[in-house]
Structure 1
Amino acid sequence: MRVAKVDPWSVMKVSFLLAIALGICTVVAASVLWMVMDAMGVFSAVGGTISEATEGQQGGGFDLESFLSLPHVMTFTSVIAVINVVLATALATLGAFIYNLSAGFVGGVELTLAEDE
């Protein structure tokens, strides 16, 4: 069996759905990781150290806890997930076009399938 051509439209649809699933997993994983780290007190411990290290004579060091709040982290993660969906879909579709061009020269990928007895 030989794969001589791949339909770019099908590749785009499948890669879009897989990228959406990966984006959802990324957002969920980031929120769970943030909640675990917040429950452990990581942000307050590190934030206190950074605030002490960056405060001047008038006080007011860098506030890490407000910078890494859950809404900020979820916004950043969502933006990264959307960019990932767009790029993954575009790259997979471009890969299908490139495969079709190269398969015209070399004949495609040959698969050997066997039945279970």
Structure 2
Amino acid sequence: MARPAAAGAKAAPVKGAPTKGAPARPGQRPAQQGLVRPAPKAKVRKARLLVSKVDVWSVLKLAFLLSVALGIITVVAAVLLWLVFDVAGVFNQINSLVATVLGSTTGTAFDVKSYLSMGQVTSFAVIIAVVNVVLLSALSMISAFIYNLASGLVGGVSVTLTDD
């Protein structure tokens, strides 16, 4: 049980409370100072660069990797599109439409899946992807070579980079 302080006696300071004249602990607001000033804005740094030459070999490598990724996307999209058409019954509707137009009621009906099977669609998509890889790689390499020739004449492209 705590004893009451005698009249006229000084009270003991509370542990952790700042004493007079001592600086406030971090995280506490000073009692007599005004509002905190906002931090000054940092200066924006700018760098002006001139792209005067592009390495043809690095452009070829990057274009090859990106075109391979595009080729993989092409093959996967073709397979998924074929599966969606098959599940949705598009091939069966085309078969019935062709049978109606031709007036064929005999047993030899037209079958779209025999012409557009999954294997044929996939192989066609792979062929398209390989051709795209070769063409995009070659075109990007030729474009880098032409850029190097043109930048030798006009000086290149000026780029300004800023630090926000």
- Give the structure-2-normalised TM-score: 0.65
Larger % of strand: which? 2
The alpha carbon displacement at 1:54 in A equals: 4.5
Aligned CA distance change for structure 1 residues 97 and 55 (closer, same or farther; 3 Å): farther
Report the equivalent of 1:44: 92
Amino acid at match of 1:74: T
Task: Determine the C-alpha separation between the residues in 1 that align with 2:65 and 2:128.
Answer: 16
1:20-44: CA deviation from partner (whole Å, max 9, x where unpaired): 0000011111111111110000011
1:72 pairs, out of 105, 120, 139, with: 120
Q: Which runs of 5+ in 2 are unaligned?
A: 1-48
**Distance (whole Å) between structure 2 residues aligned to residue 98 and residue 85 of structure 1:** 20
**Count of equivalent residues:** 116
Q: Give the root-mean-square deviation of aligned CA atoms.
A: 1.9
Task: Describe the superposition over 1:71-112 as per-residue Cα deviations: whole angstroms up to 9, x where unpaired.
Answer: 010011100000000000000000000000000011111100
TM-score (norm 1): 0.90
Alpha-carbon contact 1:19-1:84 (below 8 Å) kept: yes
More helix by share: 1
Instruction: Give the residue type in structure 1 aligned to 2:115.
Output: F
Q: Which runs of 5+ in 1 are unaligned?
A: none
Letter in 1 for 2:83: M
Compared with structure 1, are the counterparts of its residues 55 and 70 closer, same or farther at alpha carbon in structure 2 (3 Å cutoff)? farther
Counterparts of 1:55 and 1:84, CA distance in 2: 41
> Which letter maps to 2:120?
H
Q: Tell me, yes or no, if structure 1 residue 22 matches structure 2 residue 73.
A: no
Tell which has more relative contact order, 1 or 2 (C-alpha 8 A, sep 6+): 1
- Give 1:53 shift: 3.2
| Structure 1 residue 12 corresponds to structure 2 residue 42 | no
| Identity across matched positions, percent | 50
Runs of 4+ that moved beyond 4 A: 58-62
Q: Does the 8 Å contact 1:37/1:43 carry over to 2?
A: yes
The match for 2:157 is 109
